[in-house]
Amino acid sequence: MSNFEPKIVGFVCNWCTYAGADLAGVARTQYRPNVRVVRVPCTGRVDPLFIIKAFENGADGVLVSGCHPGDCHYIAGNLHAKRRWMFFKELTDFVGIEPERIHYAWVSASEANKWAKLVDEITETIRARGPFSKYRSLKDPSSNGAHDTLIWNEAWQPGIPEEAPLPEEAPLVPALREKARELLESGDVQVVIGYGWAKRQRRVVPVFITRPEDVSRLLFNPLCVNNLAVYLPRKQQDVAKLGRPAIVAKGCDVKTIVVLLQEEQIARNGVVILGVPCAGVIYRQELWQGKLAPDLLAPKCLRCDVQTPHLADHVVGDLPAPVPEPHSPSEVQRQIEALDQRTPDERWNFWREHFERCIKCYACSQVCPLCYCDRCITEKNNPQWVETSAHLQGNLSWNLVRAIHLAGRCTFCGECDRVCPVNIPLNLINRKLGMVSEESFGYRSGYDEKAHPPMVVYDPGDKENFIR
Amino acid sequence: MMLLTRHNLDQWVEALLGAGLRVVGTTMQAGQPVYAAVTRPSALDFSQVIPRNSLKDFVFPQTEPVMLYSIRKAGIEVKDVKADGPRVPDTVVLGARPCDAAGMAALQSVFTWQGEDDPLFLERRERTTVVTLACVRGDRSCFCTSVGLSPDASVGSDVLLRETVGGNFAVEAVTDKGSRLLACWPQCFEQGAEPLRPLDPPPVIERSDVEKILAWLSDPSHYNHDVWSVHAATCLGCGACTYVCPTCHCFDLTDEGSAYEGERRKNWDACQFDHFTAHAGGHNPRPLQSQRWRNRFMCKFHFYPTKFSAKGCVGCGRCIRVCYVGLDIAEMMEKVTGLAEANPSRQPSGLSREDPSPLKGEGRAGVS
C-alpha cells in the first residue's frame, strides 16, 4: 500500500478553478500530481453521473471545484450545482460511499495556493483511505447477480384470494359514477381514468371509461392502491389520444398531479381531478382478507395528511373514518435512521446485497408517474452512460441516477417499491432524499403547485459546511 | 410402467449431483417458488404450481457475453468467449412444468430458424436434459389447455414424470436423450404398476380458439383495429411480461467496457419498451404502447405459428400474474375469438391443420 498513488478526477470550472490551477502552474507551485483535471464550463454542468462514471473507470476519489458563490460566470450555475451536491452528498453517504472519496470546493482564479493546498490535502486523505477497491470490485464478474440470491416480491398470484370476501364499496361510489356520467355526457371530458374490477380476475385494475353507459364499472374501495397519475404525462400517448381526461385521485395521487403541474407536464385545465376522500388502501391486493388491518396498509397511508384531496375540481363524498392507527407509524424513517447510524461499509454492504438482485427491468421507472422523459439516460448508448447488462456496477449507477432524478420531486406513492420484482427497498432511498429536502430546504413535494421545487431554484443562504 | 419412488428420487438426485451435473428444479426462496440450481435433494419442491422465472433463464440467460475485444495501437483483437473452455455445465432440469418444457421447444425453433443456429443457445440447450413433471393442479392464471397443451404435454421434454397415487412417479422417456439419461442410473428405477394421480387441467378459456385468433390476426385490415387501443391502453410498458415469458426471446447486442477493452454482450430486450423499435433517425414505427402490446399478442398467436410453426404462447399464465395493471392475455384471446366469430375472415394463412407438430426440426433436440 505504501506506493499507492490515488487517482483523482477533478471536474473544474473553466472560469475560476481551472484558471486558479493554471496560475499555480505558472507560479511553479509544487503540489501532488494525482488530480486529473477535466475542464467543464461550469460546475452546474457536472451531472452526478460524471462522478459515478469516474468511479466506474477506476478513480479513487473525485474533486468538483468551481467559482465562489457570487462569482459565477453564468450568474448562478454554481449555486444550482450546490443544491444538487447537497442531495448527492447525502445519497452517496447513504449508500456507503465514504465522504472522503468525493470533495467539493470553491477555488477562484487567483487562489493558486488554495488549489495546491487542496490537492495536497485531498490526495493524502484519499491515500489514507486506500484504493477504492470496493467500487472496483463491482466490476468483478463473480459479483454479478445470481438467481440464488433473488428475493421475489410476494405478489405472484394476482388479485385477492378466492376465499376472501370482496371489499365493501366506499359510500362515495354512487356520487363518483354520477359525476363521471355528467362529465362524459356534457362532453367536458372524453375519458375517465379510474378503478374497476378486472374482467376475469378478482382484482381491481385501472380502467378507462369513455362512454357514459360504462360508468357503473367505476368503483372505489381499499384495493385502489395504484397511482393513476402515471397515465397523465404526455408520454402516455394512448391516453392522450382518447381526449381530455378526468382522473379519480386519492390525496396521495393528487400530490403526484401537483408535481406534474409544477413541471408543466399537464396543464391545470387539461385534466379534471375527481378527488376521492380515502381511509387508506392496502399495500398489495394479494394480502386482502376481508378488511383493512393496519399492518396491511400501504406505507404511504401511515400518517397520511391528505385524506381529503388538497387539489381537485370535484371532491366526491365526505371525509371517511380516519386511517386506522398504525403499529409503527414511522417504519421507513426508523429504518433510515438505523442505516444512518451504521458505518459506511455496513451501509455499502446493505445496498450491495439489494442492488445485486436488480435485474434492470426498469419497471421502477415505468410505473413512476414522474419518470416521464421521452428518452431516459439509460437508453443513451453513445456514449453509454448506464450499462444495460444486469451487473452490480451498472445496477448501482442506475439506482443512484434514478434516486437523484427524483430528489425533491418524489411524492412517495411507493409504486416503484411495490412493482420491483426483486423487492429492492426503493422507498428507503426516496424517503431519505425526501428527508434531505425537508431538512435542508423546508420543502415537501406535492402540496403546492405554485411552489418552486428545490432543484429548480437556489438560495445563497444554502448550507456550505461540506464545501472546502 | 417404469417407476421412480420418492426414496429413489432422492438417490437419483444425489447420483446426478455426484456425477457433476447441475440439477435445476423448483426451490423456495423467500417464500416464493423459483427455478434454481440445487445442491441437495431436499431443496427440491414438487408441490408448487409454477415457479416465478421460466426455464429460459438457463438456456438463454439475461446477460451473456458473446465475444471479448481489445483495442490497442497494434490493432483490434477479438476473442471468442469459448476460448477458455466449456463454461456451460451439463444440466438436468428436474420437475419442469410442461408449459416451460414447451417453451424450450419454442425457443429452439427461433434460435435454429432456417439453419441460422445460435451456437450459444444450442450449446446450453444440448447440455440440458428436461425432466418434466405433469401438473396435478393449476391456478387461476394457468391456461395451457387453451393453447393446445395439457398438464401432461410432453412437447420439449426429454423425460415425462407423472405422479402416482402412492406418491411415486411413473417415468416415460420422450426422446433418445431422455432414455440415455435414465439408462445411466438403472438402479434408481423399477418396474411396477400404480394408478396415476388424476390431473386437474385448468378450465379452457371460454370462447377462445387459437385457430380463429390466427385467422383474424392474419387479416391485415385488423392491424389497426380499435380492440388494441381499447384493451391495451392501460399498459405501462414495464416489460415484466416478456421477462418472465418462457417464449419471449428478443435480445440486444451491446458493447460494454472501456475504450480499450470490453465485452460484447447479449442482453434481453423487450418489444414492450418504447425504444425497442426506435430508428436512428428518430422515427418510431410503434409509437404507442397499445401497438407494442399488440405486437406481443401477434407475436404469440400469429408470427410464431406462421414463421416457426411453433407455439408462441404455452399458457403458463406468468404474464397475467406479473402484470402490474392487471392486463390479461386470456381476456384478449376471448375478445379476438369473439371478433373472429362475428366476422369470419379468410382462411388461416399459417399453421396448417395437417401439421400439428409444434416443433420444427425436432430432431435437433437430441444430444449431439
| Each residue's pLDDT tens digit, B117-132 | 998 899 999 999 999 9
- With a cut of 70, say whether residue B209 has pLDDT above it: yes
Residues of chain A contacting B317 with CB distance shorter than 8 Å = none
Taking the CA atoms of chain B, what radius of gyration do you get in angstroms?
22
Strand order in the sheet with B261-268: B75-80, B63-72, B261-268, B251-257
Residue among A156, A389, A419 whose CB faces B267 most closely: A389
> Number of residue pairs across A and B with CB atoms under 8 Å?
133
Do the domain assignments include residue B146?
A: yes
| Interface residue A160 vs chain B (CB under 8 A) | no
pTM of the full structure: 0.87
Range of the domain at B300: 210-252+268-342
Contact residues, chain A, for B243 at CB < 8 Å: 359, 361, 421
Q: Is A239 on the interface with B (CB under 8 A)?
A: yes
A203: contact with B, CB 8 A cutoff: yes
Domain ranges of chain A: 8-139, 145-152+329-456, 173-315
Lowest-confidence region among A144-148, A410-414, B103-107, B179-183: A144-148
Chain B neighbours among A 357-376 (CB < 8 Å)? 359, 361-363, 366-367, 375
Model ipTM value: 0.85
Q: B332 with B183, same domain?
A: no
Is B359 contained in some domain?
no
241-270 of A, contacting B, C-beta below 8 A: 241-242
Indicate the Cα dihedral angle B101, B105, B108, B114, nearest 10°: 180
Q: Are residues B229 and B115 in the same domain?
A: no
Task: Tell me the three-class secondary structure of chain B, residue by residue.
Answer: CEEECHHHHHHHHHHHHHCCCEEEEEEEECCEEEEEEECCHHHCCCCCCCCCCCCHHHHCCCEEEEEEEEEECCEEEEEEHHHHCCCCCCEEEEEECHHHHHHHHHHHHHHCHHHCCCHHHHHHHHCEEEEEECCCCCCCCCCHHHCCCCCCCCCCCCEEEEEECCCCEEEEECCHHHHHHHHHCHHHCEECCCCECCCCCCCCCCCCCHHHHHHHHHCHHHCCCHHHHHHHCCCCCCCHHHHHCCCCCCEEEEEEECCCEEEEEEEECCCCCCCCCCCCCCCCCCCCHHHHHHHHHHHHHHHHHHHHCCCCCCCCCHHHHHCCCCCCHHHHHHHHHHHHHHCCCCCCCCCCCCCCCCCCCHHHHCCC
Has residue A328 got a pLDDT over 80? Answer: no
- Same domain, yes or no, for B32 and B144? yes
Mean pLDDT over the full length of chain B: 87
Given a cut of 60, whether residue A143 has pLDDT beyond it is no
B173 and B315: one domain?
no
Residue B135 maps to a domain = yes
CB contacts of B290 in chain A (<8 Å) are 238
Report residue B15: phi and psi, to 5°.
-65, -40
Residues of chain B found within 8 Å of residue A230, distances taken between Cβ atoms? 236
Task: Kindly state whether residues B215 and B295 are assigned to the same domain.
Answer: yes
Cβ contact A421–B57 (<8 Å): no
pLDDT at A376: 87
Residue in B31, B63, B234 nearest the CB of A205: B234
| pLDDT tens digits for range A21-46 | 999 999 999 999 999 999 999 999 99
Nearest to A147 among B36, B290, B330 (CB): B36
How confident is the model at residue A322, as a pLDDT? 65
Closest-approach residue (CA) in chain A for B270: A361
pLDDT reported for residue B115:
87
Cβ–Cβ below 8 Å for A147 and B239: no
Tell me what pLDDT residue A292 has: 86
Residues B92, B230: one domain?
no
Name the percent of chain A lying above pLDDT 90: 65
On whether any CB of chain B is under 8 Å from the CB of A421, the answer is yes
Asked, for residue B13, whether it belongs to a domain, the answer is: yes
Same domain? For B196 and B223 the reply is no
Residue B71 lies in a domain: no
Average pLDDT estimate for B219-239: 90
Interchain contact A55–B (C-beta under 8 A):
no
Rounded to an integer, the average pLDDT of A14-23 is 95
B140/A230 Cβ within 8 A: no
How far is the C-alpha of A261 from the C-alpha of B96, rounded, in Å?
50
Question: Is B299 in the same domain as B169?
Answer: no
Q: Who has greater pLDDT, A7 or B205?
A: A7
Has residue B220 been placed in a domain? Answer: yes
One-letter identity of residue B123: E
With respect to residue B299, please indicate whether it lies within any of the assigned structural domains: yes
Residues B176 and B197 in one domain: yes
Q: Which residues in chain A are closer than 8 Å to B328, comparing Cβ atoms? A: 198-201
* B346 has pLDDT over 80: no
Give the largest Cα separation in chain B, rounded.
71
Query: A391 to chain B: which residues are within 8 Å by CB?
Result: 63
Query: A207 contacts in B (CB within 8 Å)?
Result: 234
Asked if the structure places residue B298 within a domain, the reply is yes
Question: CATH top-level class for A8-139?
Answer: alpha beta
Cell 444538487 locates to A84
Question: Which pLDDT band holds residue B85 (cuts at 50, 70, 90)?
Answer: low
Of B37, B236, B328, the CB nearest to A200: B328
Q: Best mutation site among A219, A361, A415 for testing chain B: the one with the most B CBs within 10 Å? A: A361
pLDDT band at B274 (very low <50, low <70, confident <90, very high): confident
Work out how many domains chain B is built from and give that number.
2
Whole-number Å distance between alpha carbons of B290 and B229: 5
Which of A399-408, A456-465, B41-50, B97-106 has the lowest average pLDDT? A456-465
Do both B178 and B304 map to the same domain? no
